[in-house]
């Protein structure tokens, strides 16, 4: 049976203070402890391993908490082999599927001037989480990914997706939430499948192929689903979006 600890025991075992541990629990990086009563909380030995893993990913791999949460933020504790399988791809996978040579960082004002977007609109995109704006010496900068996304947003504006028709940066929040969920689930599935079974070289090859092939599948599935909604007459302007649990293509009375 796993040894049960109080908070002070967990602090001693991990070298991490209780406020940090409670923060990890609130953010979903650690599960809730067992609470036999209101003022009593018990932590088993798995908490020690996971807290140490979180600190290792922060201090040795310099990963932000959002990425760490993607790796360990689940009630089913990931093995070190699973985490290692993902970390071994660091620096090897994404340059290969990034879509060409990496662009140098560029000031927000310069990107706005070049694309025809106002700096304020680019900052609104950042507010949705779809890009990150970094402040350096009083200037705001975009990295390679941010620049590419802003350029694509400018092309959407040029294609007619304008504010007057209801297309605003806030609309992108839907995609941010969906992609974060999808990426987290993909990481878990991939790491579980390759951990201890596939060497790094083959894992990189599989991941590259998987990203490209699944992107094509998603594009086809998305197109087919949109066409299904159109053909079913489910595009009434005032009709609210269907909840996540509702099957695509089903009519309002439950028939197909």
Instruction: Report the CATH number that the domain containing residue 13 is assigned in CATH.
Output: 1.10.1660.10
Q: 3-state class of 136 per DSSP?
A: strand
For residue 42, is it within any domain?
A: yes
Q: Which two tokens stand for residue 217?
A: 């599948």
For residues 256 and 139, what is the distance between their CA atoms, to the nearest angstrom? 54
At which of 123, 147, 172 does a domain end?
Answer: 172
Residue 190: name the closest of 170, 173, 207 by CA: 207
For residues 150 and 113, what is the distance between their CA atoms, to the nearest angstrom? 12
Q: Regarding predicted confidence, which is higher, 226 or 150?
A: 150
Do 108 and 50 share a structural domain?
no
Alpha helices per DSSP H over the chain: 7-14, 18-26, 45-59, 65-72, 80-87, 94-97, 108-115, 119-128, 144-158, 173-194, 200-231
Do 70 and 18 share a structural domain?
yes
Q: How many CA atoms lie within 13 A of 57 on its CB side?
A: 25
Do 34 and 72 share a structural domain?
yes
For residue 223, is it within any domain?
A: no
Q: Which two tokens stand for residue 129?
A: 């989480």
Q: 4-56: per-residue pLDDT in tens?
A: 999 999 999 999 999 999 999 988 889 999 998 888 999 998 899 889 888 88
The predicted pLDDT at position 150 comes to 97
Q: Which domain does 127 fall in, by range?
A: 102-172
Instruction: Calculate the alpha carbon distances from 158 to 125, 128, 139, 142 in Å.
Output: 17, 21, 27, 21
- Our count of domains for the chain comes to 2
Q: Give pTM, 2 decimals.
A: 0.60
Q: 3-state class of 152 per DSSP?
A: helix
Q: Which two tokens stand for residue 227?
A: 């066409």
Q: Which two tokens stand for residue 207?
A: 């991941």
Residue that is written with structure tokens 């689940």 in the block: 74
For residue 179, is it within any domain?
A: no
For residues 190 and 203, what is the distance between their CA atoms, to the nearest angstrom? 9
**Contact indicator for 160, 52 with CB cutoff of 8 Å:** no
**Contact indicator for 16, 51 with CB cutoff of 8 Å:** yes
Q: Residues in the chain, how many?
A: 256
Q: 150-204: per-residue pLDDT in tens?
A: 999 999 999 999 999 999 999 998 888 888 778 777 877 888 888 888 888 898 8
For residue 52, is it within any domain?
A: yes
Do 112 and 68 share a structural domain?
no
Look up residue 118 and give its DSSP letter.
Answer: -
The predicted pLDDT at position 195 comes to 82
Report whether pLDDT(241) > 80: no
For residue 156, is it within any domain?
A: yes
Q: Which two tokens stand for residue 119?
A: 């700096």
Do 118 and 73 share a structural domain?
no
For residues 182 and 104, what is the distance between their CA atoms, to the nearest angstrom? 28
The predicted pLDDT at position 141 comes to 95
The predicted pLDDT at position 75 comes to 56
Q: 52-72: per-residue pLDDT in tens?
A: 888 888 876 667 777 777 677
Q: Which two tokens stand for residue 45?
A: 């030995």
The predicted pLDDT at position 243 comes to 45
What percent of the chain is predicted at pLDDT more than 90?
Answer: 43
Query: How many Cβ atoms sit within 10 Å of the Cβ of residue 162?
Result: 12
For residue 241, is it within any domain?
A: no
For residues 236 and 72, what is the distance between their CA atoms, to the nearest angstrom? 41
For residue 168, is it within any domain?
A: yes
For residue 110, is it within any domain?
A: yes
């Amino acid at each position: 049976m796993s040894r049960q600890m109080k908070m002070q025991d967990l602090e001693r075992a991990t070298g991490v203070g209780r406020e940090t541990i409670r923060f990890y629990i609130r953010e979903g990086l650690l599960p809730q402890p067992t609470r036999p009563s209101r003022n009593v909380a018990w932590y088993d030995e798995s908490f020690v391993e996971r807290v140490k893993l979180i600190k290792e990913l922060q201090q040795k791999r310099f990963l932000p908490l959002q990425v760490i949460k993607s790796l360990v933020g689940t009630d089913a504790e990931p093995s070190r082999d699973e985490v290692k399988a993902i970390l071994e791809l660091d620096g090897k996978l994404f340059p290969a599927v990034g879509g060409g040579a990496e662009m140098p960082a560029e000031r927000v004002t310069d990107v706005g001037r070049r694309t025809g977007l106002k700096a304020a609109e680019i900052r609104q995109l950042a507010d949705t989480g779809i890009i990150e704006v970094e402040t350096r010496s009083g200037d705001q900068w975009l990295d390679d990914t941010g620049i590419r996304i802003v350029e694509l947003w400018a092309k959407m504006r040029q294609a007619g997706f304008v504010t007057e028709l209801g297309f605003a940066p806030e609309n992108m929040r839907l995609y941010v939430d969906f992609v974060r969920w999808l990426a987290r689930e993909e990481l878990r599935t991939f790491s579980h499948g390759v951990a201890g079974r596939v060497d790094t070289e083959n894992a990189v090859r599989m991941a590259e192929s998987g990203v490209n092939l699944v992107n094509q599948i998603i594009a086809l599935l998305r197109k087919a689903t949109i066409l299904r909604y159109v053909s079913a007459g489910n595009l009434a302007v005032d009709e609210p979006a269907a909840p996540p649990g509702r099957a695509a293509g089903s009519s309002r009375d439950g028939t197909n």
